[in-house]
Amino acid sequence: MADVAVRTLPLAGVHGGSSVARLELAAPAERISLRAAAADVPALSAALGLDLPVKPKTSASANGRTALWLGPDEWLVIAEGSGGIGTGLIADTTKATVPHSATDVSHRNTAIMVSGPGAAAAINTGCPQDLSLAAFAVGACSRTIFGKVEIVLLRTAEDAFRVEVWRSFSDYAFGLLAEGARDAAL
């Protein structure tokens, strides 16, 4: 029988962190980069089954999908679930007949989950954003910089973040996060 090619995640098998910040690989997810004008947001929200956030640095979740505000006309929509990739995000956007651009970026990104009391400190090793709860509440998100690479940061709980990073940058991001996690424990 022929061997079946298996697609592995860019950081498959990694695991790390410190006593205060745990680093784990997020499950595979479907992702789209969505661009649309303000007037077309309601139609796309209806098609996706969640209200696309229009306020800077905010996200919205519904039906297993999370939409992250990246810019005034730009969102990253992530669909997680046991089904992994192929939850129909693109198919749903096509139900909206308003002008928009939806690009599948599921395999462009991978995500590292950072959790624990030192999670914010670990991320602040390479990220200049104010990650206090007052400035970056649970559910807040932002495209930003982490050391030399761009990331999209989402706070999933008071002490937990999702770090979305381009796959070719993921080794670097994981390495710097691992150093940050160790520093946070000192």
Partner 1 sequence: MLLIHCPYCEEDRSELEFRWAGEAHIARPENISAISDEEFAEYFFLRNNEKGLTYERWRHIHGCGRFFNAARDTVSDKFLMTYKAGLPKQPIPSEVKAEAIAEEKTVETWEATEGDAR
Closest separation between CB of residue 169 and partner 1, Å? 12
Question: Among residues 20 and 123, whose Cβ is nearest to partner 1?
Answer: 123
Closest separation between CB of residue 7 and partner 1, Å? 29
Q: What is the 3-state secondary structure (H, E, C) of the chain?
A: CCCCCCCCCCCCCCCEECCCCEEEECCCCEEEEEECCHHHHHHHHHHHCCCCCCCCCCEEEECCEEEEEEECCEEEEEECCCCCCCCCHHHHHCCCCCCCEEEECCCCEEEEEEECCCHHHHHCCCCCCCCCCCCCCCCCEEEEEECCEEEEEEEEECCEEEEEEEHHHHHHHHHHHHHHHHHHHC
Closest separation between CB of residue 127 and partner 1, Å? 9
Question: Among residues 7 and 55, whose Cβ is nearest to partner 1?
Answer: 55
Closest separation between CB of residue 184 and partner 1, Å? 20
| Residues near partner 1 (CB under 8 A) | 56-57, 70-72, 74, 128-129, 142-145, 150
CA distances from 53 to 62, 128, 141 (A): 12, 23, 11
Closest separation between CB of residue 14 and partner 1, Å? 24
d(CA 173, CA 105): 18
Question: Among residues 117 and 130, whose Cβ is nearest to partner 1?
Answer: 130
